[in-house]
Structure 1
Amino acid sequence: MKRSNIIIFAVFTSIAFMNIACKNKSDMADNNPLLKSFNTPHQTAPFDQLTEEHFMPAFEKALKDGRADIQEIINTPEEPTFENTIVKMEKAAELLGRISSIFFNLNSAETNDKIQSIAREVSPMLSDFSNDIWLNEKLFERVKKVYEAHKNTSSLTDEQMKLLENTYKGFARRGALLNGKDKDRYREISSELSRLSLQFGENVLAETNGFQLHITDEKDLSGLPGDAIEAAAQRAKKENKEGWIFTLHIPSYLPFMKYADNRELRERMFRAYTSRGNTGNDRDNNEIIKKTVALRMERAALLGHKNHADYVLTERMAKSPARVENFLNELLEASLPFAQKEVKEVEEFAKKEGFDGQLQRWDFAYYSEKLKTARFNVSDEMTKPYFQLEKVKQGIFDLTNRLYGLTYKENKEIPVYHEEVQAYEVFDEDGSFLSVLYLDFFPREGKQGGAWMTSYREQYKENGEDVRPHISVVTNFTRPTSTKPSLLTYNEVTTFLHEFGHALHGMLSDVTYESMAGTSVYRDFVELPSQIMENWAQQKEWLHDVAKHYETGGPIPGELVDNIIAAGNFQSGYATVRQLSFGMNDMAWHTIEEPINQEVAQFEKDAMERTELFPEVEGSCMSTAFGHIFDGGYAAGYYGYKWAEVLDADAFDMFLQNGIFDKTTAQKFRENILSKGGTQDPMKLYVSFRGHEPSIEPLLKRNGLKQ
């Protein structure tokens, strides 16, 4: 998940925009659509009117206005109150938040050199603005007075008190209590970290786009499914080349690794993918990582913490690095024997298939897929004809209608930033408008890899009006070809459900203050709404509803559904250990208390050693492309995916007990989880829904790791 935050959090994710002919600069100043009210349906972003040249003048104006908003609060002659200080801060720099969300979200989905250049220029400006707020002694004095006046009283509502606590802690955690010299250093660190994060993401995107496997000999296509071959031919044709082109974008890369018989080419693809940012060229991320973790460590020390993880986790459900490490170790102890057994099974299967030698990483997906097909009579190629993207989308729409009463209506009058993006109006059961929803499905060279949910506008309430959110789901699913619609793998179906769970969290928000809306919750809680949605992909009733053959319209055979469910825990031990290895790597980087003096690859190897299941591959390094923690919000938080699995396994048991389409259970989940945003402590919200705190047992049982 990825989202843009309002300016008070000053965490801006990268994004970009399309090339449109530039107008002259005098017109730009007078006719900048970013500086006017959006005369569009639901005041959505006027993408059809924007050029890159609009952004910098808009940022400059918004920064000026934002500073004026803050100065007005400081100059208020009346004694500080919740309304004239905390609420005013919440609403300050509204224009800057609006422009930032458009710019930085777009830079993730449709970037170009010009936008990346603007991002590099504006990010330090935004960092300075943020620091000017958090390090302003007069402003903090007002906040502190309000906090002291209310912290031991019941004079505010729970939501108001949470906003006050968040604001006070925000200052303390961002340097307000530092002395002058340390404040100056804090500013320097913040600005440099902003720059490094942008550069890291740009490098990964460039590395991903910079590799192609160009095949001209048809025999090298052996084993590959027809749609993967057709997509590669389509890519080659687009570039006026003969043959077939495979890339490092996931819809191209994964089928190649699963199905290509040519082991040498699988190795080439694997090495290219796993060495991104680690090749010593001008897009190398090794030094960026070293600088980033050293600066995060230094910042944490300035603020009185042992390390960056200690700093981060004080505002997470886990609370401490020790608790996270115990959690990861407990899961590793439970799953590692299963993972080792599963790898051994693949090795033995490969030998029976005639493989002679030591199984390498570029062999594992290939022989795993063959073993899965042999054992369960199910494979991506068998299921994909039943998972046409448009039908899966409708199936998810129908699911949320059954659970929450939501309906969706495409509105082509809503401007979009790329012709492939779809825009929907979302309505509640009573017909009231809930949200705008953008769906952006397919990979492009200007688009970051992966899948995420984000927001262009958060939900909030003001002057009696409930301002509804603008939510976006962005994926990199398999493109349609000239002969077939987009057909999804089962994994892509679960990814769609996952991101739609995040979208529900944003769309169903019902809070007063924007900074606590939707997904503005603890990072190790934010994955609960997304991961619980994945459970429906393992339910026969839903699969029978959604899976229709793209040509005949016929339902998926019951036997194939049974096989999908039976294969649900295939290599769950391996998948768990792999995910734990990422979390352990993340925690290792962010529990350092001295700058590292070894190579990034070696540090990573040491951190992940206990999870290692394969021989080392020279040149491979996942950290140098680990965007979650070096270009995203998951630093010292990647464990949160597994943490939230504990929550979602326990939570979904309630649906299993009451019925997977039970509206009463869904309404309780909506009222206690989806609508509340960050207005209460997440464990309190969870217990309100479930009636008890979660344990790890349901997750272990669901994954077949415990009887």
Structure 2
Amino acid sequence: MTQSTDNPFFRPWTTPFGIAPFGDIRIDDYRPAFERALAEHRTEVDAIATNPDAPSFANTIDALETGGHALDRLCGVFFNLAGSDATEAIQAIQREMAPLLAQHSNAITLDARLFARVRALYERRDQLGLTGEQLRVLEKTYKNFVRGGAALDEAGKARMRQVTERLATLGTAFSQNVLKDEATWTLDLSEADVAGLPDFLKSALAQAAKDRGREGYVMTLGRSMVEPFLTLSPRRDLRETIFKAWVKRGEMGGETDNRAIVAETVKLRVERAKLLGYPTFAAFKLDETMAKTPDAVRTLLERVWNRAVVRAGEEKADLAAVAREEGMNEPIQPWDWRFYAEKVRQKRYAIDEAALKPYFQLDRMIEAAFAVATKLFGVTFRRRDDVPVYHPDVRAYEVLRDGQHVGLFLGDYFARPTKRSGAWMSAFRSQEKLSGPVRPIIVNVMNFAKPPEGRPALLSFDDARTLFHEFGHGLHGLLSDVTYPLLSGTSVARDFVEFPSQLYEHWLERREVLSDFAVHAETGEAMPQTLIDKLIAARTFNQGCATVEYVSSALVDLAFHSLDTAADIDPVAFETEELRRIGMPEGLVMRHRTPHFAHVFSGDGYSAGYYSYMWSEVLDADGFAAFEEVGDPFDPVLARRLGDYVYAAGNSRDPMEAYVAFRGREPDPEALLVKRGLATAA
């Protein structure tokens, strides 16, 4: 075992802002750190459970909230690196720790002594003189125990332990399999293969080859490479090869195939729900959301689906017409859609993706996201090169308000083989006040193509929107101002958590922001007003396709988790049948096919909850309309309410109450359809 004097997890961190001393951490430090942190937390919890004093809020709830500091600190480092810089060694530890951490969680949740104390307080909650935040913590703690199986008999508890530990193992395997498929699949391309591609994409392909010690050009399965290739390559044969590999992640056979993992996961989730008295896993999962029931989710999704399918049909006809003009008379296939959609967009709006991209430099878009936050919430960002980071590409910024430290923000923007695909926000440390003023350390992780040395990284408009989206999540963590860790930052209902992030995307589309920050990488000139006008006019272009891709994924997720039995299910056959049932249009596929649907199967996060983006989109479309109604996207009164009741409030109140406190009324669902161009504003 590593000696305590050598292991960074066994000593206080004297680094700037108390961030992890990443350069000092060795792979051999993690196992002994987990061993000690788990033992310390077990001791802390046992002291609460065996306390001879009558249960009080202080000796039970406060004590639970302040316990596990060493474990939280360790997990904050380890699991962030497992997603963003996952070496084989880290993955091996992750596989080992997944069931052990599930066992540890079960030992707390299923401790009858501990639950008795929590239940005693919950039953007397109206007599305890609690603050609103304390009452919410108590209610959430009690519900978490019950939903974890604390009220089951001993046989039920034993089975719950088995089910949750196995699910933890399966979720880890699922995510690691997808990462391996993405990291290992490559396609060597010749000079002839990249003919007709714009310079920015050729440079990215050349850089990918260089990173792998190869000559020429290399295609990978990173989304920031796949989507522009499918959009801009005239080589239909290569588009087909790359697209088919992209949608087959997790379904390529061999040791990384996820089909059996999905089947077992769905089966165990049904069992878990029934142990807790719910008919389906969807009913269990949605009980603690804004939507509340599977029927409410299905109603929203189907309302949007029907309009999106009609719009997608119209879009497909437009694509086919352009394809015929160019001599392509075959039916439009999924690998054709982006290519011909770009041609239609150029024809209709005179917008060329290759000509547009130089205006969206990564550094300038980061500045834009920061500037919007400054105008809305009064926070500023200072680059800190003295802060340790876990990879040379990571940037660190101190966040301040009125000269006072608010938190630390890390930006990890470039794709690499050890990083899972997609984009996300996470916390190395969450804000809270119970242990003193604890300031957050928040990270945004992206997968943009890294440019050659000395060249600026160029984003698509969608990439820039992703950056704003994740920074919206980041602000939700950074601006959090609550006392209790359980309620901090993004620890809100799953179908509310996307509201602050999706709302933040709206500011990218504002002329005030584009004119200041969309600056051409070569000429230094601001984006012309005529181009800004075209970009804004085109924002609902191809929304039939985008909406079908998303909603089909959400409906398949809901269908899996609405099963009341799942013995011997074939996940791909089930997916195919559900798409047939809902009338999936020819030429389109789900945004995330089941074998690589990490939102849903790499853990419980978005299981039965992928609809959440659309539920939150109702809120964000209606919420931004408030700024439009007053004619100022930075209206100080609205911005203050948004900051106070949404970004700073964490889970300190019911999400609909939070929304109404900001907006003044409940949201209008029609705003979503107008935003996506599927309905006309009244």
Relative to the length of structure 2, the TM-score reads 0.97
Residues 579 and 620 of structure 1, relative CA distance in 2, 3 Å threshold: closer
Aligned to 2:62: 87
Equivalent-residue separation in structure 2 for 1:441 and 1:33 (angstroms):
27
Task: Describe the superposition over 1:190-226 as per-residue Cα deviations: whole angstroms up to 9, x where unpaired.
Answer: 110000000000100001112111012x222133111
Q: 2:118 aligns with which of 129, 133, 143?
A: 143
Residues 673, 686 of structure 1: 8 Å contact kept: yes
Q: 2:161 aligns with which of 177, 187, 200?
A: 187
Residues 289, 624 of structure 1: 8 Å contact kept: yes
Aligned to 1:516: 487
Residues 66, 434 of structure 2: 8 Å contact kept: no
Residues 318 and 260 of structure 1, relative CA distance in 2, 3 Å threshold: same
Task: Describe the superposition over 1:607-639 as per-residue Cα deviations: whole angstroms up to 9, x where unpaired.
Answer: 22325122589x998100000000141001100
Where do 1:488-637 residues align within 5 Å?
488-609=459-580, 610-614=582-586, 622-632=593-603, 633-637=605-609
Tell me the CA shift for residue 538 of structure 1.
2.0
Residues 568 and 596 of structure 1, relative CA distance in 2, 3 Å threshold: farther
Tell me the CA shift for residue 127 of structure 1.
0.7
Where do 1:212-611 residues align within 5 Å?
212-216=186-190, 218-428=191-401, 430-462=402-434, 465-482=436-453, 484-609=455-580, 610-611=582-583
Residues 263, 569 of structure 2: 8 Å contact kept: no
Tell me the CA shift for residue 243 of structure 1.
2.0
SS at the partner of 1:409?
Answer: strand
Q: Which shifted more, 402-411 or 509-518?
A: 402-411
Aligned to 2:143: 169
Residues 127, 194 of structure 1: 8 Å contact kept: yes
Aligned to 1:155: 129
Residues 207, 450 of structure 2: 8 Å contact kept: no
Q: Share of identical aligned residues, percent?
A: 39
Tell me the CA shift for residue 368 of structure 1.
0.7
Tell me the CA shift for residue 29 of structure 1.
3.7
Task: Describe the superposition over 1:428-471 as per-residue Cα deviations: whole angstroms up to 9, x where unpaired.
Answer: 1x2111010000000011001110000011100036x3211000
Equivalent-residue separation in structure 2 for 1:179 and 1:364 (angstroms):
54
Aligned to 1:54: 29
Residues 275, 621 of structure 1: 8 Å contact kept: no
Aligned to 2:638: 665
List, as ranges, runs of 4+ consecutive aligned residues in structure 1 with deviation greater than 4 Å: none
SS at the partner of 1:407?
Answer: strand
SS at the partner of 1:168?
Answer: helix
Unaligned runs of 5+ in 1: 1-24
Tell me the CA shift for residue 657 of structure 1.
2.1
Tell me the CA shift for residue 410 of structure 1.
1.2
Residues 550, 591 of structure 2: 8 Å contact kept: no
Is 1:646 aligned with 2:621? no
Tell me the CA shift for residue 558 of structure 1.
0.8
Tell me the CA shift for residue 598 of structure 1.
4.5
Is 1:118 aligned with 2:89? no
Q: Which shifted more, 445-454 or 116-125?
A: 116-125
Unaligned runs of 5+ in 2: none
Letter in 1 for 2:266: V
Equivalent-residue separation in structure 1 for 2:211 and 2:151 (angstroms):
57
Letter in 2 for 1:439: G
Letter in 1 for 2:514: L
Equivalent-residue separation in structure 1 for 2:185 and 2:460 (angstroms):
24
Task: Describe the superposition over 1:117-153 as per-residue Cα deviations: whole angstroms up to 9, x where unpaired.
Answer: 1111111111111000111101111111111111x34
Letter in 1 for 2:64: M
Task: Describe the superposition over 1:314-357 as per-residue Cα deviations: whole angstroms up to 9, x where unpaired.
Answer: 10000001111111111112322112111221112211222121
Task: Describe the superposition over 1:134-186 as per-residue Cα deviations: whole angstroms up to 9, x where unpaired.
Answer: 11101111111111111x34711110000000111111101111111111110
Relative to the length of structure 1, the TM-score reads 0.94
Equivalent-residue separation in structure 2 for 1:364 and 1:616 (angstroms):
8
Equivalent-residue separation in structure 1 for 2:583 and 2:653 (angstroms):
36
Q: 2:184 aligns with which of 175, 193, 210?
A: 210
SS at the partner of 1:31?
Answer: coil
Equivalent-residue separation in structure 1 for 2:151 and 2:601 (angstroms):
27
Aligned to 1:34: 9
Residues 372, 378 of structure 1: 8 Å contact kept: yes
Aligned to 1:104: 79
Equivalent-residue separation in structure 2 for 1:520 and 1:404 (angstroms):
20
Q: 1:692 aligns with which of 649, 665, 670?
A: 665
Equivalent-residue separation in structure 2 for 1:568 and 1:657 (angstroms):
20
Task: Describe the superposition over 1:462-513 as per-residue Cα deviations: whole angstroms up to 9, x where unpaired.
Answer: 36x3211000000011312246310111001100100000011000000000
Aligned to 1:19: none
Aligned to 1:7: none
Equivalent-residue separation in structure 2 for 1:592 and 1:68 (angstroms):
40
SS at the partner of 2:256?
Answer: coil
Residues 469, 504 of structure 2: 8 Å contact kept: yes
Task: Describe the superposition over 1:338-388 as per-residue Cα deviations: whole angstroms up to 9, x where unpaired.
Answer: 121112211122112221211111111111111111111113212111111
SS at the partner of 1:449?
Answer: coil
Residues 71 and 400 of structure 1, relative CA distance in 2, 3 Å threshold: same
Tell me the CA shift for residue 596 of structure 1.
4.6
SS at the partner of 2:671?
Answer: helix
Residues 182, 222 of structure 2: 8 Å contact kept: yes
Residues 5, 11 of structure 2: 8 Å contact kept: no
Equivalent-residue separation in structure 2 for 1:70 and 1:462 (angstroms):
17
Residues 611 and 388 of structure 1, relative CA distance in 2, 3 Å threshold: farther
Tell me the CA shift for residue 677 of structure 1.
0.3
Residues 585 and 74 of structure 1, relative CA distance in 2, 3 Å threshold: same
Residues 549, 591 of structure 2: 8 Å contact kept: no
Letter in 2 for 1:433: H
Residues 422, 439 of structure 1: 8 Å contact kept: yes
Equivalent-residue separation in structure 2 for 1:220 and 1:557 (angstroms):
33
Residues 86 and 77 of structure 1, relative CA distance in 2, 3 Å threshold: same
Equivalent-residue separation in structure 2 for 1:649 and 1:338 (angstroms):
20
Is 1:199 aligned with 2:173? yes
